[in-house]
Amino acid sequence: MFKNLKTTGAAPKKVAQALAGVAGVILIGGSGAVFGLNSQITSLNNKAQTREAEVGSSEQVTRRYQTTLDSYNETLGKIQDLESSVSQSSYVPTLLQQLQTLASSTHLTVAAVRPMPTAPAPVVPVTDAASHPKKKAPPPYDTLDISVDVKGTYANTATFLYSLTRFPKIISVSSAQMRPETAGPDQNPLSSPMITTSLHLTAYVFHDDPAAPAASGAPGVAPAPLATDANAVPAPPASAANASAFVAPGAQPATLTGAAARTAAGSIGAAKALSARSEVGVGAL
């Protein structure tokens, strides 16, 4: 009888041990499942943050694209008076013809056009050249100094100078000297006196692009020989020589990133022309 009681008392211990083992297995399995779920949640959170960052980056690209596009269009609007392209060989003839046409439109007479000597480049000593081995890249243009004499009233001369700010070529006025003429006996004393103005102009001749097709000159402008006096200046053509060519922007790319890059490149090119255009000014009278 006591033997059966001992046997019966051992059974609950085995059951308890079995239950404890099952509970341990469940605990370990549950811990592993919880750890796996936490890993999945962390991975999903990381993916969500990555997607949010991509969305934010796309919005930044969109804003940058729109800002660059607005700046590009604004720059194009400011330089729309510039002719689209002209070859170096056609630059001087078209420049003379356009100056003559502008003078005629403002009721001035071109008395003389003379090229001015170019200042020689400074000689760099050997010691300085050795200490500064790096050289700056040459600018994509050459400068051409020209002296122009025009004759007319002060009001017409002022109009001519202001019109140079919308000239189809990039030029600047370094100086202007005005010399009034003595009134003749048959001239009305109440009329505006005639003034001869000597202008020192600096023209910027951009280098030809080897990849671009050869330009035939500005639209509506025929080549003209160099003139040294008023009688040698040819008459202006019937068509306006100041006609400008507006280069429209290309089609919008498929992606915003590509569009922003292409528009930024165009904006940089246009900004360079605008920077050179800003050099146009009237010297002290």
131-181 pLDDT, tens per residue? 555 678 888 888 889 999 999 999 999 999 999 988 888 888 999 999 988
Q: What angle do CA 66, 68, 71 make, to 5 degrees?
A: 110
Query: Mean pLDDT in the chain?
Result: 70
Dmax over CA atoms of the chain, in Å, equals 162
Angle, to 10 degrees, between the axis of helix 2-78 and the axis of helix 256-277? 30
Per-residue model confidence (pLDDT) at position 127: 58
Which residue, 218, 215, 270, is CA-closest to 243?
A: 218
Residue 192 or 123, more confident? 192
Phi, psi of 146 (to 5 degrees): -135, 140
Calculate the alpha carbon distances from 76 to 103, 115, 229, 248, 270 in Å. 26, 31, 37, 9, 7
Instruction: Look at residue 268 in the predicted model and tell me its pLDDT.
Output: 52
pLDDT at position 130 is 56
- State the DSSP code for 112: E
Query: Tokens for 282?
Result: 């009237």
**Helix segments in 79-108, DSSP class H:** 88-105
Confidence of residue 249 (pLDDT cuts 50, 70, 90): very low
Res 8: pLDDT: 55
Instruction: Write the pLDDT tens digit of every residue in 193-233.
Output: 889 999 999 988 888 766 655 544 444 343 334 344 444 43
Short-list 201, 154, 168, 173, CA closest to 97 = 168
pLDDT band at residue 272, thresholds of 50, 70 and 90? low
Q: And the tokens for 27?
A: 């605990």
Close Cβ partners of 276 (under 8 Å, ≥ 6 residues apart): 141, 170, 204
Cβ–Cβ under 8 Å, residues 112 and 96: no
pLDDT confidence tier of residue 234, bands split at 50, 70 and 90 = very low
Q: What does the pLDDT read at residue 198?
A: 94
| Reported confidence tier of residue 254, pLDDT bands at 50, 70, 90 | very low
Domain-by-domain residue ranges, the chain?
1-49, 61-80+246-276, 82-118+138-183+190-235
CA–CA gap between residue 113 and residue 169 (Å, rounded): 17
State the first-to-last Cα distance of the chain, in angstroms, to the nearest integer: 136
Instruction: Give pLDDT, residue 239.
Output: 36
- Alpha-carbon gap, residue 159 to 82, rounded angstroms: 19
For the ranges 9-18, 84-93, 151-160, 186-195, the one whose mean pLDDT is highest: 151-160
Distance CA 234, CA 104 (A): 11
Q: What is the pLDDT of residue 104?
A: 93
**pLDDT of the residue at 163:** 92
Highest mean pLDDT among 40-54, 112-126, 261-275: 40-54
Residue 83's Cα: distance from chain center in Å?
16
The most confident of the ranges 102-111, 139-148, 239-248 is 102-111
State residue 88's pLDDT score.
Answer: 79
CATH topology of domain 82-118+138-183+190-235: Alpha-Beta Plaits (3.30.70)
More confident residue, 193 or 285: 193
- Sheet-wide strand order for 141-152: 109-115, 141-152, 195-206, 171-180
